[in-house]
């Protein structure tokens, strides 16, 4: 048999894999019932059969803790991309504690504090469900990464912080479990002790934030030790302590950064996971990106968003 015939057969054998990529499927489950509300998760996965347990990307949607859905169309590319790369992608419900509430602020922080606490509690419940069903779902429990947008980004940063800081709230999770990574699109941490100081090294964290974000502070909003600490102040803490992280500052951009990186920065997000989570590189990276052609609405703040 000559080389041309062998090449033709080889191409024909491979053609179905290129023309017919693995189908992305979705399964919906109830992971908890709280306050008479069913909390559901959508599990996205490739139709192909993996050989080994898969990493998991657990996602928390945005909406100021007053609105939003786990299956909003703006997240579809993000979910499908990582499902096609061999991840189990899990997008969850959580209770919306800011529904009907006035705009939060330093002197009106209790509703926001309670909303964050409920959301974190629900993320922990979803995490426990995945841990308990890991065999059935074929999930590698050492590679569960949490990711979120806006309020969801606040939630996942808070969830890892409280777990690493040995807070009472985190004791519902197994002692030997830690999140493998955090990906936050315009997030922050609420703290009563000043800039968060972690008892144990936090998960490798990928921060995206717009420098003109007025809804979730890029830097921080504080009164004495109480405050909301955004990506810039958290990245400064990570750098000071030598914790691995990557921080994208989108210069002169507002709260848009809570959404568009999930479409436009998929290769960069995937590279972060490969380098920091899988290969455990101890890098500290900061990228300042100025896009001259991107127009941004920088007017959104708590006052006009909640009222």
Given pLDDT bands bounded at 50, 70 and 90, which one contains residue 259?
very high
Per residue in 116-149, pLDDT tens? 999 999 999 999 999 999 999 999 999 999 999 9
The residues, any chain, with a CB within 8 Å of residue 225's CB and separated by 6 or more, are 191, 192, 193, 194
Phi, psi angle pair for 80, to nearest 5°: -65, -35
- DSSP secondary-structure letter at 173? S
108 has pLDDT over 70: yes
For the ranges 28-32, 47-51, 113-117, 274-278, which has the lowest average pLDDT?
47-51
Query: What tokens does 3 get?
Result: 């080389």
Instruction: Evaluate whether 169 touches 208 at the Cβ level (below 8 Å).
Output: no
pLDDT at 36: 92
Separation between Cα atoms, residue 210 and residue 24, nearest integer Å: 32
Euclidean distance between CA atoms 144 and 57, whole angstroms: 6
User: Is residue 247 a contact partner of residue 235, using CB atoms and an 8 Å limit?
Assistant: yes
Q: Are 184 and 153 in contact (CB under 8 A)?
A: yes
Place of tokens 């491979």: 14
- Kindly tell me if the per-residue pLDDT of 50 is higher than 80: no
Of the candidates 231, 235, 248, the one whose C-alpha atom is nearest the C-alpha of residue 189 is 231
pLDDT digit string, tens, across residues 2-12? 544 444 434 33
Q: What is the mean pLDDT of residues 160-183?
A: 97
Evaluate whether 73 touches 90 at the Cβ level (below 8 Å). no
Worst-scoring range by mean pLDDT, 99-108, 215-224, 268-277? 99-108
pTM to 2 decimal places: 0.92
Map out the domains of the chain as residue ranges: 22-306
**Contact partners, residue 175, CB within 8 Å, separation at least 6:** none
List phi, psi (to 5°) of 257.
-65, -15
**pLDDT of the residue at 21:** 57
- 223: confidence class by pLDDT, cuts 50, 70, 90: confident
Three-state secondary structure string covering 133-155: CHHHHCEEEEEEEEEEECHHHHH
Strand partners, 108: 105
Q: CATH fold of 22-306, please?
A: Rossmann fold (3.40.50)
Q: Are 217 and 230 in contact (CB under 8 A)?
A: yes
Q: What count of other Cβ atoms lies within 10 Å of the Cβ of residue 14?
A: 10
Who has greater pLDDT, 93 or 19? 93
* Residue 55: predicted pLDDT: 98
Question: Which neighbouring-strand residues pair with 27?
Answer: 43
């Amino acid at each position: 048999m000559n080389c041309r015939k062998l090449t033709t057969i080889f191409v024909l054998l491979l053609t179905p894999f290129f023309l017919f990529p693995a189908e992305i499927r979705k399964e919906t489950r109830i992971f908890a019932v709280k306050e008479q509300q069913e909390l559901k998760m959508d599990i996205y996965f490739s139709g192909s059969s993996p050989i080994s347990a898969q990493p998991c990307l657990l996602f928390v949607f945005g909406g100021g803790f007053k609105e939003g859905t786990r299956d909003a169309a703006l997240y579809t590319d993000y979910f499908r991309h990582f499902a096609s790369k061999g991840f189990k992608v899990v997008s969850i419900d959580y209770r919306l504690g800011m529904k009907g509430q006035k705009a939060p602020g330093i002197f009106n922080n209790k509703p926001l504090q309670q909303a964050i606490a409920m959301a974190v509690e629900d993320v922990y419940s979803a995490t426990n469900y995945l841990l308990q069903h890991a065999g059935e779902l074929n999930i590698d429990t050492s590679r569960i990464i949490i990711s979120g947008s806006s309020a969801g980004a606040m939630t996942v940063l808070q969830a890892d912080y409280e777990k690493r800081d040995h807070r009472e709230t985190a004791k519902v999770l197994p002692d030997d479990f830690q999140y493998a990574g955090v990906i936050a699109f315009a997030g922050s941490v609420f703290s009563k002790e000043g800039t968060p100081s972690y008892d144990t090294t936090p998960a490798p964290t990928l921060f995206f934030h717009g420098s003109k974000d007025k809804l979730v502070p890029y830097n921080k909003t504080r009164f004495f030790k109480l405050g909301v600490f955004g990506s810039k102040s958290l990245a400064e803490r990570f750098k000071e302590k030598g914790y691995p992280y990557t921080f994208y500052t989108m210069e002169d951009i507002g709260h848009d950064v809570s959404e568009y990186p999930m479409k436009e920065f998929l290769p960069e997000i995937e590279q972060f996971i490969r380098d920091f989570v899988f290969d455990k590189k101890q890098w500290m990276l900061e990228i300042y990106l100025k896009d001259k052609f991107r127009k941004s609405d920088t007017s959104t703040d708590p006052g006009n968003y909640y009222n």
